[in-house]
Amino acid sequence: MQPHKPIIVVKYGGNAMTEDILRQKVIENICQLQNYGYKVVIVHGGGPFIKQALTDAGIQSEFIDGHRVTTPEALEHVEKVLKGQVNGALVKLINQLGYNAVGLSGKDGKIATSVKRMHKKVVDGHIEEYDLGQVGNVVSINTRLLHLLLENDYIPVLACLAADVHSNELNVNADMFAGHIAGALKAEKLIVLTDVDGLLEDKDNPATLIPRLTLSDIIKLKESEIIQGGMIPKIESCEIALNNSAKSAVILNGTDPDQLIAVGKRESVGTTIYP
């Protein structure tokens, strides 16, 4: 019987996805986490590729507070990019490196069930709701297929698409999706790749890295606006994971692939968040 191995879920995206040489190294180092005794799951988005595909199709992108409005027409292109282009390329690369990847989305095996998301915003002291179209929030994760693959040394590569209970397709924020997957799998770590070395007290000064946080620290860091902008969904992803049984979450610099190997070696790197 195979001994129990801890699970690492990696949220992959950003610059680490768009530059060819960097992409190869990042994916190679993610896969190498298997060599350090971990089972590995990859969750990805594809923002830059989706933007290009919608532009090519003549579909104008609309955003509400940074969230992409996804019409049924746009969703067709989003799915083609995420499943056909990005997911397929990642699976091919992982297999070429000598590992065994399986490309999936949250719809496969009903891994992720979601509900349509209405974006809430405070306007003049009261809450208004905005319809984001075919955008969803994850409400449940079925881990059966993922465990089956992991037990047989496959690397699941998950695109952030899901469906509701009526099989209506929905696009899900990749950070949030990764948090739910990590929580449901009771992952040892969720690794969220971004373009900085972790959470910085001063976003312009790499020397102000905050190496360790707990969930209770996050509220005051948001209030003091140390957590701001693009770091907000990264932190929220970590909160989802930790509130749903993941043991820790790490925010790393995806443009420095050696940080992934440091995690594999159980070294302290980036910003680690604990429950």
Tokens of 17: 């996805």
Residue 261: per-residue pLDDT: 97
Complete domains list, the chain, with CATH: 7-274 (3.40.1160.10)
Residue 1: per-residue pLDDT: 40
Q: Residue 40 is which amino acid?
A: V
Residue 61: per-residue pLDDT: 81
- Please state the pTM of the whole predicted model: 0.94
Give phi and psi for 228, each to the nearest 5.
Answer: -150, 170
Residue 125: per-residue pLDDT: 82
Residue 3: per-residue pLDDT: 58
Q: How far apart are CA 240 and CA 256, in angstroms?
A: 25
Local confidence pLDDT in tens for the 275 residues of the chain: 455 899 999 999 877 788 889 999 999 999 999 999 999 999 999 988 998 999 999 998 888 776 778 999 999 999 999 999 999 999 999 999 999 999 999 999 999 999 999 888 778 888 888 889 999 999 999 999 999 999 999 999 999 999 999 999 999 999 999 999 999 999 999 999 998 999 999 988 989 999 999 999 999 998 899 998 889 889 999 999 999 999 999 999 999 999 999 999 999 999 999 99
